[in-house]
Amino acid sequence: MLLEKAKETNVPFRFEGVEFGVESRTVAVGGQMVTIRGIAGRYEDLLVPLHGAHQAENAAVAIAALEAFFGAEKALDAEVVQEAFASVTSPGRLEVVRTAPTIIVDAAHNPEGIRVSAEAIHEAFSFTKLVVVVGVLREKDAEEILRQLKESLGDLAAEYCFTQSNSPRAVPAEDLAELAVELGFGEDNLHVAEKLDDALEWAVERAESNDDLAGGVLVTGSITLVADARILLGKADA
């Protein structure tokens, strides 16, 4: 559709993976080290303080878009590009909002988003276990979201807490728990807390159980749940 529209309006277009893209990336402290081939230049060892292959791809698209804006005839200033990426943030997307234990909020609210985020968590963090706090809105496919969480996080997700955001569209926490049981989640590893603050308190306690210093908490499933969690955890203005 986009390609057809570009041809119809005579707008130039470029293909990621063909004319520009990510050449390489490695996990780094606080994010990843990325080398990007742009339309007009090559940018080596850029520190991107975000997690996941999808964020590296987003960085490549951003560079290509800026090159195209300036005519795509010469490379951008590498120092300026690095300085720009050094200050980039993505609130609510694999965002570490607290440490000891590490609490991550991620606004993935569909199966594909859950899958991509789970891959990034496996890659970028060294958790011994993860306690997952989940809330979903009614218009979303709760069954597929839960199924993807179970498949993608696997044994890393030691326990789940089902809760709900302040949105009137939130699926009741008890309903989510019942659905999870139907999908094969272990009943002994499930907890229900209608209020998010209670859910977070329980999750933190479970993440630290048995004096585990490498346990973590993931809050996910809906944008409204993550927004509420950021407020509770003092990140609303970040």
Give a three-class secondary structure readout of 31-77.
Answer: EEEEEEECCCCEEEEEEECCCCHHHHHHHHHHHHHHHHHCCCCCCCC
Whether the ω angle into residue 101 lies within 30 degrees of 0, i.e. cis, is yes
pTM, rounded to two decimals: 0.92
Please report, for the chain, the start and end positions of each structural domain, with discontinuous segments joined by +: 2-86, 95-232
The residue to which tokens 């859950």 are assigned = 114
Query: Can you give the pLDDT of all 238 residues of the chain as single tens digits?
Result: 777 887 788 878 788 889 999 999 999 999 999 999 999 999 999 999 999 999 999 999 999 999 999 999 999 999 999 999 999 999 999 999 999 999 999 999 999 999 999 999 999 999 999 999 999 999 999 999 999 999 999 999 999 999 999 999 999 999 999 999 999 999 999 999 999 999 999 999 999 999 999 999 999 999 999 999 999 999 876 5
Q: Looking at the domain 95-232, which fold is it?
A: Protein-Tyrosine Phosphatase; Chain A (3.90.190)
**Which contiguous run of DSSP H or E holds residue 231?**
helix 223-232
Backbone angles phi, psi at 75, to 5 degrees: -65, 155
CA distance linking residue 161 with residue 229, whole number of Å: 14
Q: For tokens 């179970």, name the residue.
A: 150
CA distances from 175 to 72, 141, 160, 172 (A): 53, 13, 14, 5
